[in-house]
Amino acid sequence: MHRRSNIALAALALAATLASPGSARAQDRIQVVTTLPVFAELVKAVGGDRVEVMAVATPLQDPHFVDARPSYILAAGRADLFVAAGMDLEVGWEPLVREGSRNADIQIGGRGYVDASA
């Protein structure tokens, strides 16, 4: 049940972002960066063709050990929504990507930050 509520939280955050008139122009897709591929699939299922999603970790990577590449930081800088698993799963690299992006919306407490473990 707890896992289901985390997924619902991420889906609600995406729905709120999609409904927000100031989040993106009507013709633009909502830019979403997720830490894990499972969250990317959830975002695609909820957002459909209204979202463009990038998962940082691949299905074959250990999510504890991902390199914070400059391309991930650039993608996070353009993101409207950032979905992280939380609970220190990505503690070694997620803060580097998120904070390095200098995107205020996706910082902890920002309107586009989703901690799926909360």
**What are 77-114's pLDDT values in tens digits?**
999 999 999 999 999 999 999 999 999 999 999 999 99
Do the beta carbons of residue 82 and residue 112 sit within 8 Å? yes
Q: What is the pLDDT of residue 18?
A: 57
> Which band of pLDDT confidence, cut at 50, 70 and 90, is reported for residue 13?
low
pLDDT confidence of 53, banded at 50, 70, 90?
very high
Predicted confidence (pLDDT) at residue 5 exceeds the cutoff of 60? no
Read off the pLDDT of each residue in 70-77 and give the average, rounded to a whole number: 98
